[in-house]
Structure formats: structure tokens, C-alpha cells
Amino acid sequence: MKSPVTVTVTGAAGQIGYALLFRIASGDMLGKDQPVILNLLEITPAMGALEGVAMELNDCAFPLLQGLNPTDDAERAFDKCDYGLLVGAMPRKQGMERKDLLSANGGIFGPQGKALNKGASRDVKVLVVGNPANTNALIASANAPDLDPSCFNAMMRLDHNRAISQLAEKTGAATTDISGVTIWGNHSSTQFPDLYHAKVGGAEALSKIDEEWYKDDFIPTVQQRGAAIIKARGASSAASAASAAIDHMRNWALGTEGSEWVSMAVPADGSYGIEPGIMFGYPCTCANGKYEIVQGLDLNDFAKEKIAATEAELREERAAVEHLLS
Ligand SMILES: NC(=O)c1ccc[n+]([C@@H]2O[C@H](COP(=O)([O-])OP(=O)(O)OC[C@H]3O[C@@H](n4cnc5c(N)ncnc54)[C@H](O)[C@@H]3O)[C@@H](O)[C@H]2O)c1
Ligand SMILES: O=C(O)C[C@H](O)C(=O)O
């Protein structure tokens, strides 16, 4: 048996937290041979509800769960953290864009970045889920100057999984037959779901669907799926978001072998002309606990235009939180 690792989940009494914690504790995220210590962070008024979640976690008698620490103290929560899932933030309501949450949520991520900087493992993997995820991840990273920026990712995986599911449904394929999907840019309605390199059962995806469906139906459906779920459920996605977070962390920790690539928002490094300073959704592979941006994909004029639009939105979001970046 491996020695335990510390996983910190913020917003642990929220709806994503409730769908996430039991899967982490059962080994879905880091493997059935990896014991975990769960540090659960909440705001003080939610500590009662968090206590209830902790009771239920204990009642599962998970063999891999070797410690459980509910707290409202960020420094305690991130002490010796190996994996951080930053979920705790307000969700949007119907009619809002995710960036409308910046003023409410941006302030959460500076102090959490500082707490990570102080106490987390130096090769911690931090996945920001709370919206607007890309810019919140940027805030957390900027407040953790002693941690490499590559320790911080934001979640594009829900969009990636949504795109796979839509394409599978349209073509009658299994989700496992689909590869090479990328969600570029922001986890927002400007994201670019790219099928130009996607394959269905080894054949070009664009040979199986017509371009009109791709541009007029598929792209807006994936871009607006979060809003459609809020309209239908009266609450934002939770179980699918938790599942995507599990997928993202599992691939980052254990590798993407077997799949062509996955979509992850990582610090822009000039790849595909996106200069540093924002967290950008890219096609990535992972091995040995590190991610790499897939290089050398051809981008046509349509793709370049869409990628420029989502980059522009991320630069605007960055400008709006410049005061939180130091
Ligand atoms: N990136 C994605 O793909 C994606 C998908 C779904 C939801 N989200 C976002 O995830 C966030 C959480 O969604 P939810 O449905 O779980 O919301 P929720 O309201 O059910 O839960 C959020 C929890 O966070 C807690 N919280 C608030 N501030 C905190 C802080 N400073 N420290 C610790 N905890 C804090 C709240 O008390 C609450 O329990 C939202 O911002 C939502 O928009 C992102
Ligand atoms: O859409 C939202 O606000 C929640 C989440 O980001 C989602 O994509 O479902």
C-alpha cells in the first residue's frame, strides 16, 4: 500500500462537494491503491452541514480514507496539501454569465493561493472549479509566488466530456470511440469546442457530420450546456462537474495513456500564439504527474478567429482582477 496523500476540497458542504468527496474517498480519483487524507474547507456558517458530510464519509468505512479534517481555516486545510480541488465559490443563477461572478468569487482565491503558498507540497496539483474558473485559477497562482504556475489548472473537462457526449450521440458511436476533441480557451460561452482534429472510430469526425451541424448546433450546445442545465434543474451542474474534476485530476496524476489528449486550462506559455498571463484551455497529455500542451496542430481561419475571441475575453477578465493578482 502507498503512503497517504493529502487532498484538500474547498466548498466541501456544497452540491459539487457532496458528489465529489465520496468518489475521492473510494479511490476513483487517485487509484484503488492510494490512501487519502481529506481536508475539507468551508466557511464558518456551513461548518454544521460539513460536519454532517464528514459523518457520512465516516459511515462509509472507506478502506482508503485514512484521515478526515473539516475546518474553516484555509491554512489548516492546505497544510501539506498534495492535491487541491478549489470548488468553494458561488454558482451563477439563470441569466448570468460566469464572469458576472468575478466580483463575488474573485476575493476567495487570493487568500487560498496564499495559504497554498505557505503550507502545500511544492509539487501540489491544484484544480480550480469555482467560477469563473480560469481567472480564479490565475488569482490563486498569482498569490502563490513560491509555487510553480504549472501547479495550477482550471477545469475544462466538463466541456470536453460534454463535447464527446454530443458527438457520440450524433454519430451513434460510443464515447470511447471518440478522440482528439479540444476545448480551447475559457470555461465560458466564448470557449471554442474544436472538432477539426477529432476522430470517431478512427475516422475524421468532420467526415461523419456536416459542417452546418458542427457550427450551428454542436458548438452553441456545448458552449451553453451549463446554462441549459441551470434552466432545467434550477441549479448548476453538480454530479457531472464532480465527475469531470475526478477525470481531470486522475489524468494529471496518473497519466492520459490510452486517450489521445484531454482539455485542460493551464498557464498560457506562448503555444498557439497565446502569450503568458492567462489560464487557457489547451489539448494536453499527462505523464509522470506533469502535463504537456500538444503542439503542432493546424488551425484554420475559423478556429483562429474563435480562439482569438476567447483569448480576448480572458484578457478582459484578467484586467478586471488586476488588483487581486499580487
Ligand atoms: N468549472 C466548471 O466546469 C464548473 C462546473 C459546475 C460548477 N462550477 C462552479 O463551482 C462552484 C461551486 O458550485 P456548487 O454547485 O458546489 O455551489 P454550492 O453553492 O452548492 O456550494 C459552494 C460551497 O462553497 C462554500 N464556500 C463559499 N465560499 C467559500 C470559501 N471562501 N471557502 C470555502 N468554501 C466556500 C459555500 O459555503 C458552499 O457550501 C460555483 O462557482 C459553480 O459555478 C464550475
Ligand atoms: O454553467 C455554470 O454556471 C456551471 C458550470 O460552469 C457548468 O458549466 O455547468
Task: Report DSSP letters for 13-43, one per residue.
Answer: TSHHHHHHHHHHHTTTTT-TT--EEEEEE--
Residue bearing the CA closest to ligand 2, atom 9: 226
Ligand nearest to the CA of 93: 2
Q: From the annotation, which residues make up the binding site?
A: 11-17, 92, 98, 105, 112, 129-131, 162
Residue bearing the CA closest to ligand 1, atom 25: 11
Are 5-154 and 156-322 equal in CATH topology? no
**All structural domains of the chain with their residue ranges:** 5-154, 156-322
Q: How far is the CA of 182 from the centre of ligand 2 (A)?
A: 18
Q: State the CATH class of domain 5-154.
A: alpha beta
Residue 148: its pLDDT value, please? 98
| 156-322: CATH, from 3.40.640.10, 3.40.50.1820, 3.90.110.10, 3.90.105.10 | 3.90.110.10
Q: From the annotation, which residues make up the binding site for substrate?
A: 92, 98, 131, 162
CA 127 from chain centre, in angstroms, equals: 6
Q: 83-99: per-residue pLDDT in tens?
A: 999 999 999 989 998 98
The percent of residues above 70 in pLDDT, for the chain, comes to 100
Q: For residue 131, which atom of ligand 1 is closest to its CA?
A: 41
Q: How far is the CA of 108 from the centre of ligand 2 (A)?
A: 18
Q: How many residues does the chain have?
A: 326
Q: What ipTM did this prediction achieve?
A: 0.99
Closest CA to 314 of 184, 127, 186, 160: 186
Q: For residue 133, which atom of ligand 2 is closest to its CA?
A: 6
Instruction: Of 24-33, 102-111, 236-245, give the lowest mean pLDDT range.
Output: 102-111
Q: 189-236: per-residue pLDDT in tens?
A: 999 999 999 999 999 999 999 999 999 999 999 999 999 999 999 999
Is 11 a pocket residue for ligand 1 (Cβ < 6 Å)? yes
Residue 258: its pLDDT value, please? 75
Is 237 a pocket residue for ligand 1 (Cβ < 6 Å)? yes
Q: Which residue from 53, 87, 229, 247 has its CB within 8 A of the most atoms of ligand 1, so it is best to mutate?
A: 87
Q: Give me 100's grid cell.
A: 458576472
- The answer to whether 242 touches 23, Cβ cutoff 8 Å, is yes
Which residues fall within 8 angstroms of residue 145, CB to CB, at 6 or more apart? 117
Q: Give me 313's grid cell.
A: 475575453
Residue bearing the CA closest to ligand 2, atom 2: 226
Residues 170 and 187: their CA atoms lie apart, in Å, by 23
How much is the pTM? 0.98
Residue 93: its pLDDT value, please? 87
Residues 18 and 53: their CA atoms lie apart, in Å, by 7
Residue ranges with strand state E in the chain: 5-10, 36-41, 65-71, 83-86, 125-128, 152-154, 178-179, 182-184, 192-194, 199-200, 203-204, 262-267, 279-287, 290-293
Q: How far is the CA of 92 from the centre of ligand 1 (A)?
A: 10
